Structure 1
Amino acid sequence: MTLQQLSTLLCSVFFLTILGSCGKKNKSAHIEQNNTPSNIQYAKGFTVQKNKDFTVIEVHSAWPGAEVSFKYALVPKEKLAFISLPSDAYTAIVATPVERLAVTSTTHIPSLEALGELEAIVGFPGTDHISSTNARALVDNGSIVELGSNENINTEIILELKPEMVMGFGINDTNKAYKTVEQSGIPVIYNGDWVEQTPLGKAEWIKFFAPFFQKEAKADSIFSQIEKSYNEAKSLAKKAKQKPTVLTGGLYKDVWYITGGKSWMAQFLKDANADYIWSHTDENGSIGMSLESVLEKAQNADIWLNPSMHTSYAELKNANAHHEQFKAFREKKIYSNAIKKGATGGLIFYELASQRPDLVLKDIISILHPTLVPDYEPHFFMPLQ
């Protein structure tokens, strides 16, 4: 055997040895788990388990009454080739940090903006609903592409955009478009921030977004500031000497929908030191009532919040003359979160409120107890025109 032949043989053996060892490492790499317990304090819909090599996010409540949970493994891109995870153990495996994603709810926008990841968004269904000034600039320059509607997302456009994941929003698991996206190899990650029933619980979903971008520390810091601001406002409200009575909601097709006593809005009213007339009810959503029932119980309420989508007293009177019978109407004490809108008509409250409950609480305190926050400029709730 010549020296050249020997050299060639040794190189071949070396290559095969390395290739074999890589294959074995990929299949049997030691995976350390359960290193860091989840630091979720208020949110009930998800948990985050950070392990040595990867992170596991589990979503328990993707929609109301969900009987299935979703488990996602987030693996750093530099470790992806060396870690083998059982695909049947996870709903999806996502390489991080994510650089391109599509989102499907305006509530996803504020968390991504706070984390400095707006530019990672490549698509959104119903871009006119986006109110954030920075996000709108990305829509206007074509960086965020229109995807149609959430229930009928244009899957062809999504495939062309090649996002690394789609942040999904759904009322159930029957979205056919999502299934098509998943079949193409793009993970759909369900986000249930809207299902949370407490103000700080909703805000804590920023910790759900953070691991996809390896920005957990930043999310913790942001949430801590929001939590501190909220609790300070709550403490301030306790100094009020009176608790104004509050009526919520309005008529829609002859049914008056009020806020249930266990809903997140009812929690705001409690923390703002209000006497909410239906605080004793157990519903965590809306309660349908007749106009007569509401008049009987709340005709003399001091404050009226969110009279359906009406934004002026004239509009409210034209919708139903009985509205004039309410004390809050006569004394011009009606406020709505449907007045302040983005450049293309999106409601700012529905986009930002869940991520900034401290601002919502301060708004309500300024309405109920104006002397506690003099010269306050509201962010969401505006007086009817």
Structure 2
Amino acid sequence: MKPNFAAKINILSIVYIKTLNNITFETNKAQALKKAIFFLFTIFVFSCKNETAKPIAKPVDGHQLELKYAKGFSVTDYSTFKVLNIKNPWPDSEKSYRYVLINKENAAKTTFVKDEFDGIIINPIKKIVVTSTTHIPALELLNAEETLVGFPGTDFISSEKIRMRIDEGKIRELGKNESINTEVLLSLNPNVVIGFGIDGNNKTFETIKKSGIPVIYNGDWVEDSPLAKAEWIKFFGTLYHKEKEADSIFNTIEKNYLEAKKLAQTVKNKPTILSGAMHSDIWYLPNGTSTEAQLLKDANTNYLWQNSQGSGSLKLSFETVFTKAKDADIWINPSNYTSLKALENSSSHNTMFSAFINKNIYTITNTTGKTGGVLYYELGFARPDLVLKDLIKICHPELLKDYKPFFFKPLE
């Protein structure tokens, strides 16, 4: 019998007694008793039927998805369903999110306590909306690009496969990420929307959730190492029931990255590196704990601000930067400037750096897709092995002799 059977008998017994007491118009007590027993039996049968309809899922033990670097999410497999936990959706977040991932067959047989989860998602995903170009490579690597039905700012997408689907009208334009066209999105009726946020105060996402479409905050950009960001392909693998494929893809990326890092350590010379550029009298450059600084370290270079701390970009005066980096060997990523002339026009002070004089400046800005999207901002998170090899080729040209940089080009 069910664990709460005795409790039901007690309740029904009370109903039975009250029924007998209320039957005052019966002269035949035997008839009254028969009716009460019949009434009790009917309620009991009906109650038992409801009891076995849809059991509430109360998982005890589950298998954790293996993650080597990523800290912002976890997945627990309970055989008939999985629980996805987003731990760090934005910097210094005090809120986490939990989602159930379950197939249609098991969903029809299982009930979950509503307040315990932020969404119930039927997987594998058939239709998806993502909101950052960094989400695009995972879909393509997992051969799931056909599930993408909408994106805010399609011109920023560089992937040739995705661009073809956009041109065919299979992916709808959803406006800007800050103000997604909810009317179009709701008409697409995706299984899930993959969003990102800096603080969780996105009214558009709240509207989408109220319509019954789950929204998952993707926190790949919050991770503190290149390989941790790349490991979020396992997050998408879980959505598509492609955990093994995602694991294999990541293992290849990790292997390539670690081999390149090991190769770079064989070189004794460490070129000095300047990064970033000046805007409105403020020079913005990566702090020493950023993934950009980690990549430069793994490429065996001397990034001049590698010992700095903090979150976000460093904001320094020109004088501070020039004093320290005027003789830097290489200048990496001078913001969004696309030519030496543009860099000179922004400030004549830029021409005073040795890296400018020697034309040793390299940028990601000029490697774009058909509609102008910068490829690095789409693929760089997913393929840190390629980013690292680019930096090694630039900083140690005697290594990787047959390698051609994928993202970086010299500023001309």
Give the equivalent residue in structure 1 for 2:77. 50
Contact 1:29–1:82 at 8 Å: present in 2 too?
A: no
205, 208, 212: which one pairs with 1:178? 205
Contact 2:361–2:411 at 8 Å: present in 1 too?
A: yes
**Structure 1 segment 1-385 matched on structure 2, within 5 A:** 23-28=50-55, 31-385=58-412
Pair 67,115 (structure 1): closer, same or farther in 2 beyond 3 Å: same
Amino acid at match of 2:249: I
Amino acid at match of 1:58: N
Question: Residues 240-260 of structure 1: CA distance to partner in whole angstroms, max 9, x if unpaired?
Answer: 120000011001111100110
Over alpha carbons, which structure has the higher Rg?
2
Q: Cα distance, 1:26 vs. partner?
A: 4.6
Pair 19,111 (structure 1): closer, same or farther in 2 beyond 3 Å: farther
Q: Secondary structure at the match of 1:370?
A: coil
Question: Residues 254-311 of structure 1: CA distance to partner in whole angstroms, max 9, x if unpaired?
Answer: 1100110000000001100001110111124210001111000010000100111112
Q: Secondary structure at the match of 1:82?
A: coil
Q: Cα distance, 1:19 vs. partner?
A: 10
Q: Cα distance, 1:51 vs. partner?
A: 1.4
Question: Residues 296-332 of structure 1: CA distance to partner in whole angstroms, max 9, x if unpaired?
Answer: 0010000100111112111111111111110110111
Q: State how far apart, in whole Å, the 2-side matches of 1:229 and 1:314 are.
A: 36
Amino acid at match of 1:145: R
- Please report the TM-score for the alignment, with normalisation by the length of structure 1: 0.93
Q: State how far apart, in whole Å, the 2-side matches of 1:252 and 1:129 are.
A: 23
Q: State how far apart, in whole Å, the 1-side matches of 2:391 and 2:311 are.
A: 19
Q: Where do 5+ consecutive residues of structure 2 fail to align? A: 1-43
Question: Residues 88-115 of structure 1: CA distance to partner in whole angstroms, max 9, x if unpaired?
Answer: 1111110111100111000000001101
Amino acid at match of 1:144: I
Q: State how far apart, in whole Å, the 1-side matches of 2:48 and 2:122 are.
A: 23
Q: Cα distance, 1:27 vs. partner?
A: 3.4
Question: Residues 29-80 of structure 1: CA distance to partner in whole angstroms, max 9, x if unpaired?
Answer: 5654433123111011111111121111111111112110011110122210
Q: State how far apart, in whole Å, the 2-side matches of 1:30 and 1:337 are.
A: 49
Q: Secondary structure at the match of 1:301?
A: coil
- Please report the TM-score for the alignment, with normalisation by the length of structure 2: 0.87
Amino acid at match of 2:147: A
**Where do 4+ consecutive residues of structure 1 move more than 2 Å?**
17-35
Contact 2:64–2:74 at 8 Å: present in 1 too?
A: no
Q: State how far apart, in whole Å, the 2-side matches of 1:26 and 1:374 are.
A: 66
Q: Secondary structure at the match of 1:201?
A: helix
Amino acid at match of 1:139: I
Q: State how far apart, in whole Å, the 2-side matches of 1:344 and 1:335 are.
A: 22
Q: State how far apart, in whole Å, the 2-side matches of 1:229 and 1:92 are.
A: 36
Q: Secondary structure at the match of 2:158?
A: coil
Give the equivalent residue in structure 1 for 2:11. none
Pair 371,79 (structure 1): closer, same or farther in 2 beyond 3 Å: same
Contact 2:56–2:113 at 8 Å: present in 1 too?
A: no
Pair 146,368 (structure 1): closer, same or farther in 2 beyond 3 Å: same
Contact 1:25–1:82 at 8 Å: present in 2 too?
A: no
- How many residue pairs are counted as aligned between the two chains? 369
Amino acid at match of 2:288: G
Q: State how far apart, in whole Å, the 2-side matches of 1:320 and 1:123 are.
A: 40
Q: Where do 5+ consecutive residues of structure 1 fail to align? A: 1-16
Q: In terms of mean alpha carbon deviation, does 213-222 or 44-53 score higher?
A: 44-53
